[in-house]
Amino acid sequence: MEGKRWIEEAESHILHTYNRYHVVLDHGEGVYLYDTEGKQYLDFAAGIAVQALGYGDREYNDALKQQVDKLVHTSNLYYSQPVAEAAGKLCKASGLDRVFFTNSGTEAIEGALKAAKKYAYGKDGRTDHEIIAMEHSFHGRSLGALSVTGNAQYRKAFEPLPGIVRFASYNDLESVKTLVNEKTCAILLETIQGEGGVYPASQAFLTGVKSICEERGVLLILDEIQCGMGRTGQMFAWQGYGVKPDIMACAKALGCGVPVGAFLTTEKVAQASLKPGDHGTTYGGNPLVGAAVSKVLDIFETRGILAHVREVSVYLEERLSRLEKEYPFIVGRRGLGLMQGLALESFVPAAEISQKALEQGLIVITAGNNVLRFVPPLVIGKEHVDEMEEKLRRVLDTYL
């Protein structure tokens, strides 16, 4: 079989840092993926919240093809029309003032941390500033991003990690207050924890953290890499809370498949932090990804993607809550918009459910401590939610 051959080829040459499903995906159409054997899969993972527009979107594809024929890369030594357009549209969509394009979400976090430290250094000339991050958080796998990732499993083998980072309990404002001191330069958190188990911040927590930052002259950094770009029905999840960050990281659906991320800042932070020579990237923000970001933001606006997410997410929540009530081993549903999780009892492993769902032609992934994670393309319809429920029930029924 062709798929088996490619799996063997990959295992012979690719560094084994992933335990991959034994499926070779070949192409996609709409919200469906197809493997090399022709089997169809309903996609409720979207490449880990990346493929917001699904697969084969003609308008998006044509924009990339046109840019490929014009210019793919020049470096950041020169200006580029696609990147300038993308920057303007992203700043407008976010309400922030300055953007730095990166190749990934991890790099966006790295840049955000550097901007915060440089901002603090500019105020007092000290180099011993501290970051407060959250337990059970995930911000990436580079050494800098690992330093603020609150999961010992990811950190242990690579310690000591750079910087001084203190970890507070997510949604526990008192735990944050006890850690803030005169060295604190920034508080970093995901507006919705993704890898940690799909936990949205409470309104009181996010508002309270913002108040602490304003009172103590500390910067608020929000990681919207997974929960941003329309997934909650707002362009960025924090907009639904009315709590604006000083620095924000985003990626994943920002380019809907091309490798692009970004961190954005207010004008105040931009003017007092990174200067020429402080930060850079060879590939980040090249004309190709600029064209992708620009087109994605256009499509979100012209097709009313945010309104669609708000409508269909209510339906998804209803169906997932119904599953929670009917299956005693589902112990909770949580999330916002099209970022949802079902928590399971330990005797029903989420990874096993994910594998069995794949056999049924459904792609759904896991998160945190035994949680099924649902982050489908933002263009799914109610009929796709029904199909997902039908396929998932076939798997869940085997545990009754």
pLDDT digit string (tens) for 75-86? 999 999 999 999
- Mean pLDDT to the nearest integer, 310-314: 98
CA distance 81 to 393: 49
CB 200 within 8 A of CB 189: no
The confidence score (pLDDT) of residue 2 equals: 82
The confidence score (pLDDT) of residue 66 equals: 98
Q: Residue 33: which residues within 8 A CB-CB, separation 6 or more? A: 25, 27, 40, 41, 43, 55, 363
What Å distances lie between residue 103 and 85, 292, 392, CA to CA? Answer: 18, 13, 35
Cβ-in-10-Å burial (0-12, 13-18, 19+) of 364 comes to buried
Supply φ then ψ for residue 334, to 5 degrees: -150, 160
CB 285 within 8 A of CB 108: no
| Assigned architecture for domain 71-302 | 3-Layer(aba) Sandwich (3.40)
Is the domain 2-56+304-399 a CATH 3.90.1150.10 member?
Answer: yes
| Region for residue 336 given its phi and psi (left: phi exceeds 0; alpha: psi -120 to 50; beta: otherwise) | beta
Cα torsion at 190, 195, 197, 202 (round to 10°)? Answer: 0
pLDDT above 90 covers what percent of the chain?
A: 99
Supply φ then ψ for residue 5, to 5 degrees: -65, -45
The confidence score (pLDDT) of residue 53 equals: 98
- Mean pLDDT to the nearest integer, 110-116: 98
Per DSSP, what are the bridge partners of residue 164?
130
Q: Where exactly does CATH 3.40.640.10 map onto the chain?
A: 71-302
Q: Where exactly does CATH 3.90.1150.10 map onto the chain?
A: 2-56+304-399
Asked if the model's pLDDT at residue 312 lies above 80, the reply is yes
- Mean pLDDT to the nearest integer, 39-47: 98
Mean pLDDT over the full length of the chain: 97
Q: What totals of helices (H) and strands (E) does the chain contain, helices first? A: 15, 17
CA distance 133 to 140: 13
Instruction: Indicate the helix (H) or strand (E) that contains 393.
Output: helix 382-396
Per-residue pLDDT band for 320 (boundaries 50, 70, 90) equals very high
Tokens of 76: 């950041």
Tokens of 183: 């060295």
DSSP string, 87-154: HHHHHHHHT-SEEEEESSHHHHHHHHHHHHHHHHHHHH--S--EEEEEBT----SSHHHHHT-B-HHH
Asked if the model's pLDDT at residue 1 lies above 90, the reply is no
Task: Say if pTM beats, i.e. exceeds, 0.85.
Answer: yes
Residue 329: how many CA atoms within 13 Å on its side-chain side? Answer: 18
pLDDT above 70 covers what percent of the chain?
A: 100
The 10s digit of each residue's pLDDT in 176-194 is 999 999 999 999 999 999 9
Per-residue pLDDT band for 92 (boundaries 50, 70, 90) equals very high
Asked if the model's pLDDT at residue 3 lies above 90, the reply is no
